[in-house]
Amino acid sequence: MSNKNIPFQTINWSDITKTEHKGETGISYWQTTQFEGLRIRIVEYSKGYVADHWCQKGHIVHCLEGDFVSELKDGSKFILTKGMTYVVSDELSSHRSVAENGVKLLIVDGDFLKFINLKTTNMNHNKIIPSLWFSNDGGNISKVVDYYKTIFGSDFEKGDIVPLGETPSGNTEICEVKIFGQKYSLMSTEKEHHPFNDALALTINCEDQKEIDKFWNYFTHDGEESQCGWCIDKYGLRWQVLPENFGELMSKPNSWEVMMSQKKIVIEEYLK
């Protein structure tokens, strides 16, 4: 879903070329303005127009002039006249337009009308998904998502942000993400419920010292160092940043003493 901001601007529809689209009968003429994740159209149906397909896309459709019938595949019919509007999300109906006398419409559609089914979303494809509860930015989750996307890069996949509105903890949003292929559900609320603590940490198994330094430096820049490879990021989430051969290193003489003396794990100190 796009979060692209659109600066203030006007649209002069007389400057936008009409494109022609044939229906089952009749013709529709579109004037289209496209933004990232948003499409706005002035659409005119000729007399006797019948759409050539059943549409499942979500729309906001406002009748500017004339009248038309919106038919649903289940047999329902709705007559819309000048000044009337219908709205529907993606995939929630199969509908088509019929204009016996011709009509002029304003139609808006885009990512904001995507249908989100919390019961069947990809969340339930994993048996166990860690859920992390943040309290940030008035309940908005986007800055949290961006923070982790910055460090994990191409190993981070962002799902749609789902606004839940007002909850007992105030404004709330959730977002499902993948980090190194593992799914996590991130939630942010306006009011803090329980802060993160040392009872839970996520472990990163690093290939070498360079990768250890990369994650450690990022998380501690606005967070803090702890002990034995543990650190705390800017949101209070605990991380264990360890070399992938940590078990082997801990089998070496004096390894316990070395580890207890360290904050960040420095591999070469185990090899002396």
13-113 and 201-270: identical CATH topology:
no
CATH code that applies to domain 13-113: 2.60.120.10
As given in the structure block, the two tokens for residue 239 are: 């991380």
pLDDT in tens, 195-243: 999 999 999 999 999 999 999 999 999 999 999 999 999 999 999 999 9
Among 34, 28, 18, residue whose Cα is nearest residue 96: 28
pTM for this model (two decimals): 0.55
Q: Report d(CA 98, CA 70) in Å as an integer.
A: 6
Contacts of 213 (CB under 8 A, 6+ apart): 264
Give strand pairing partners of 178: 157, 183
Q: Which two structure tokens, joined as six digits, stand for 95?
A: 């509908």
CB atoms within 10 A of CB 225: 14
Token pair of 150, please?
Answer: 């910055």
pLDDT in tens, the chain (272 residues): 444 688 999 999 999 999 999 999 999 999 999 988 899 999 999 999 999 888 888 999 999 999 999 999 888 999 999 999 999 998 888 899 999 999 999 999 988 887 655 444 444 566 889 999 999 888 999 999 999 999 999 999 998 899 998 999 999 999 999 999 899 999 999 998 899 999 999 999 999 999 999 999 999 999 999 999 999 999 999 999 999 999 999 998 899 999 999 999 999 999 98
| Domains of the chain, residue spans | 13-113, 122-189, 201-270
CATH top class, domain 201-270: alpha beta
- Do residues 256 and 218 touch, judged by C-beta distance below 8 A? no
Per-residue CA distances from 218 to 142, 160, 174, 235 (Å): 18, 25, 24, 12
Q: pLDDT digits over 68-99, tens only? A: 999 998 889 999 999 999 999 988 888 999 99
Rounded alpha-carbon distances, angstroms, from residue 193 to 123, 139, 168, 182, 224: 23, 12, 10, 25, 22
Q: Please tell me the distance from the alpha carbon of residue 268 to that of residue 260, in angstroms, as a whole number.
A: 15
